[in-house]
A and B are shown apart, each in its own frame.
Chain A
Amino acid sequence: MRVPIIEMTGISKSFPGVIANEDITFKVYGGEIHALLGENGAGKSTLMSILAGLYQPDAGIIKVKGQTVKLRSPRHALGVGVGMIYQHLRLVDNFTVAENIALGVSGQGFFLNRVEIEAASQNLSDQFGMDINPRAKVNQLSLGEQQRVEILKMLYRGCDILILDEPTTVLTPRETRDLFKVLRLMAQQGKAIILITHKLNEVKAIADSITVLRRGRVVGSASNQDLTEQDLTRMMVDREIIPVKTDRHRKVREAVLEIKNLDVTGDQGHRAVQNASLTIERGEIMVIAGVAGNGQRELIEAIGGLRPIEAGQITLAAEDISALDVRARLRRGINMVPENRLGMGLVPNLSIMENGILRNYHNKDFYRGIFFDYKRMRDYVNKLVEKYNVQLADINHPVNYLSGGNLQKLLLAREISQAPQVLLASYPVRGLDIASAEAVFTILQEEREKGTAILLVLEDLEDVFRLADRIAVMFNGQINAVLDVEDTDVEEIGFLMLGMAGEKVNGAENQVN
């Protein structure tokens, strides 16, 4: 029988208050791509951080290439051939690729042997089909290319076991395909690849073997062809996903928010939104579908009043609001859940209570005279937190003590309880585990039933089709189609997102004037 290149047995690790890993057994063979699947908080990252030498396990044995090892540090793990690539890339922006690769490699002289490193990097890049120029500056590379530089770094250090933590989160579909090609080549040449992820379709597409974790334990481990997506979902969440049935037939069609020929400038001074027109109606969910970075954020911010518009008009219930500031728009019922939750939507170091009133702190109810009435403020936020089931220990704790799902619930609760006419939300379920995402979906659907006009930016097509009444596709700053969800399918939207004209676009309902 083949000897696994990695064999972890009986691994347990707990942190104050949580058991992250419990009696985990995990085997990976050379030449395979092994997906480690699980919801957020299932213990994937902890397990891999143990393997990468970042954490020491409380119990258990790790064998690398048949040898029992105690991995004391990431450097030590690298020494036995285990390298981890984190979601947040760790490159020096204004160094070249070769300089980044050389950084931190021991056994070099005082001066960098540029030629040698560049040649070695080039060889590795060619060997695995990465197409990276070692002399390019990192800040000139796309995120996908930067990720490949990280992989090169690990290969240069002689890693033959590579762990990638959610590598596709920042990638476009095309870059994802390229990455997978590289990974496949590496596996063919005998490297072992461990992919931490919670995306089922990717797992099915690339993995040879799959191990599923749930609440710190292994639920199952098998080869890819022996498991269906349904099996995997069941293993991950221990309860079947119940599709929410909603009545999508709107009784009255009444336009609430109208955007006409909008131009908006982005942070880099480029025209991020171009001549965009869109109408959102009472009681509908309009979803903007598109690859991230095609102007969705700028459009939402322009409607919320956070970004000036260069040309065009925004009207709310027949009133021109283009020139109004954030507060005035809030008063008229435009609420917003921004993409940047912690930093824009919520203030990290302020308490949960203080965050609960961030958008209506000027409300007279919170004051007695000119002074805050903390009791009433506390009651208000307590009610909010209770109603939307935000799990917390103490309302006076800083908000960044909350988990991702609870942060988002708090944010949504705050915006919704101000009785919006229009609710804008960017990537409301990004990074959330399945249970939290479900809660967010339910909240949004309830809000639609109340008659609020909802404009969502979503990235996952599955979510788009679950929630949307209508879909607006954004590409390159333009809205190139607005389609009823009944009249379209995943394939067409996928095409439109990549800037290709779909078959049905011309004939379908099209609001672009």
Chain B
Amino acid sequence: MVLRIRLIRREQESAVARMTVPVLSVLMALLFGGLFLFIYGAEAGETYIKMYQGALGTSYAFSETLVKAIPLMLAGLAVSLAFRMKLWNIGAEGQIYMGAFAASGIALSWGNQPAWFLITVMLLAGFLAGGLWGLITGVLRARWGVNETITTLLLNYVAILWVDSLVFGPWRDPQSLGFPLTPRFSMNAYLPTLGDSRVHIGLLIALLIAIIFYYLLNYTRWGYEIKVIGESHLAARYAGINVPRNIMLVMLISGGIAGIAGMIEVTGITHRLQSGISPGYGYTAIIVAWLGRLNPFAIIVVAFLMGALLVGGFAAQSSGIPFSIVLILQGLILFFLLAGEIFLKYRLKLSRRAAE
């Protein structure tokens, strides 16, 4: 007897599977992660509990998770807009850096201006800098059909190195003892926080953008145009939609929102520009957007969970687990979540067949 496993296409996505698959995927990931922890010689259950407590167990932990989640929310929303149009903006990282750079420039030169003014101008500058960085790609794509995946990726390096050249060079704080950072911003340039935590109003900005996106994409003419362009450029042109202009516009806004993520990071958290201001938020954002299936509210939730994973990882690290194992765990969770998607469309069928 041979047991045969076959995948049968579902008539439609199963609602039960949609609930159970993500949960099972995460459990599988934890199981496999446990294997790695076991090989390393650590107690898996204990480590997971530590991670949970570190990420969500206390109100401080919870607020730290939010702090990490905010830039992921913004960058995730940013790339999701471009992805809706099947425009592969993987340059959120660079756009974050450019946004952080522009906001820092304002904060460092106009530090004595009133807070409301300074923050408004920094928000605009962050948006514009990130947006223009995205627009470079948008123009190249719209006018000459240059592949946006490549240009956005390459521009990331330019932006990161540009910020490095500033914080290692002309913008370096003379009192920093050689560390690559600018002087601390004036208090006027600090983003207001919520209560006495480190959670800042960037959270509200992210939620606001998610709500705007939801209505924009589902209820407006422009949202419809983006949807049509994403499905077919031919059909879009046939519908009278200006495809090149929309490509540029979407890259501007997508880059701009990523730029805001950079702005809130320097003004809300570090209060100075420094090397490595984003530990890859722009790349994680791509995963966030996909796992959230480009739905703005789902992106907010997924970004929060990714934040928890990150913070939980730090907690595990502090108890002696190397961070690389945390990264393995993150990778496993993503792997199982993405692989599990297949069970939304297919179901397993086991059948017995006599061996021939």
Contacts and interface: CB of A to CB of B under 8 A. Distances in A.
Interface of A: 16, 304, 306, 325-327, 330, 336, 338, 340, 343-350, 354, 358-359, 361-362, 367, 370-372
A322 B303 CA distance: 50
Interface string B215-250: 100111100100110011011011110100000000
B224 A361 contact: yes
A306 B238 contact: yes
B237 A306 contact: yes
Contacts of B234: 340, 343-344
B240 A325 contact: yes
B231 A350 contact: yes
B238 A326 contact: yes
B240 A326 contact: yes
A350 B228 contact: yes
A347 B231 contact: yes
Contact of B239 (A349, A358, A371, A372): A358
B232 A343 contact: yes
Contacts of A326: 237-240
A367 B240 contact: no
B11 interface: yes
A347 B228 contact: yes
A362 B221 contact: yes
A358 B215 contact: no
Contacts of B235: 343-347, 358
A371 B232 contact: no
A362 B224 CA distance: 10
A344 B237 CA distance: 8
Nearest to A301: B238
Given A306-B238, A343-B235, A345-B235, 11 more contacts: A16-B11, A326-B240, A344-B232, A347-B231, A347-B232, A349-B231, A354-B227, A361-B221, A371-B215, A371-B220, A372-B224
A304 B224 CA distance: 22
A408 to B, nearest CB: 15
B224 A354 contact: yes
23 contacts: A306-B237, A325-B242, A326-B237, A326-B240, A327-B240, A330-B240, A343-B232, A343-B235, A344-B238, A345-B238, A346-B235, A347-B235, A350-B227, A358-B239, A359-B238, A361-B221, A361-B224, A362-B221, A371-B215, A371-B219, A371-B220, A372-B221, A372-B224
Contacts of B242: 325
Nearest to B236: A347
A134 to B, nearest CB: 37
A293 B16 CA distance: 50
B238 A348 contact: no
A367 B221 contact: yes
The number of chain B residues touching the other chain, given as a range, is 10 to 19
A361 B218 CA distance: 13
Contacts of B11: 16
Contacts of A344: 232, 234-235, 238
A326 B224 CA distance: 17
Nearest to B231: A347
B107 to A, nearest CB: 35
A116 to B, nearest CB: 32
Contact of A359 (B215, B218, B220, B240): B240
A356 to B, nearest CB: 12
A345 B221 CA distance: 19
Nearest to B238: A344
Contacts of A330: 240
Contacts of A370: 220-221
Closest 7 CB pairs of A and B: A327-B240, A326-B240, A344-B234, A371-B219, A347-B231, A347-B235, A358-B239
A326 B242 CA distance: 10
Contact of A361 (B231, B238, B239): B239
B142 to A, nearest CB: 16
A361 B219 CA distance: 12
A375 to B, nearest CB: 13
A359 B228 contact: no
Contacts of A345: 235, 238
Contacts of A361: 221, 224, 239
Q: Which of B228, B234, B239 has the most CB of A within 10 A?
A: B239
A306 B237 CA distance: 7
B311 to A, nearest CB: 38
A101 B228 CA distance: 40
Nearest to A348: B231
Contacts of A350: 227-228, 231
Q: Which of B11, B218, B219, B220 has the most CB of A within 10 A?
A: B219
Nearest to A358: B239
Q: Which of B215, B228, B235 has the most CB of A within 10 A?
A: B235
A328 B240 CA distance: 8
Contacts of B221: 361-362, 367, 370, 372
Given A347-B231, A350-B228, A361-B224, A372 B219 contact: yes
Contacts of A336: 238
Q: Which of B234, B240, B242 has the most CB of A within 10 A?
A: B240
A338 B215 contact: no
A371 B217 CA distance: 10
A304 B238 CA distance: 8
Interface string B8-41: 0001000000000000000000000000000000
Contacts of B219: 371-372
A115 B290 CA distance: 50
Q: Which of A325, A326, A354 has the most CB of B within 10 A?
A: A326
Contacts of A372: 218-221, 224
B98 to A, nearest CB: 30
A340 B231 CA distance: 14
A359 B225 CA distance: 11
A399 to B, nearest CB: 10
Contacts of A327: 240
A371 B215 CA distance: 8
A456 B240 CA distance: 21
Contacts of B240: 325-327, 330, 359, 362
Contacts of A371: 215, 219-220
A426 to B, nearest CB: 12
Nearest to B239: A358
Contacts of A304: 238
Interface in B193-219: 215, 218-219
A370 to B, nearest CB: 6
Nearest to B219: A371
A344 B234 CA distance: 5
A52 B2 CA distance: 26
Nearest to B242: A325
A94 B268 CA distance: 56
Interface in B306-326: none
Interface in B106-135: none
A235 to B, nearest CB: 35
Nearest to A368: B219
Nearest to B227: A350
Contacts of A348: 231-232
A160 B238 CA distance: 47
Contacts of A16: 11
A55 to B, nearest CB: 14
A372 B238 CA distance: 21
Nearest to B223: A372
A260 B326 CA distance: 70
Contacts of B232: 343-344, 347-348
B37 to A, nearest CB: 42
Nearest to A344: B234
A226 to B, nearest CB: 44
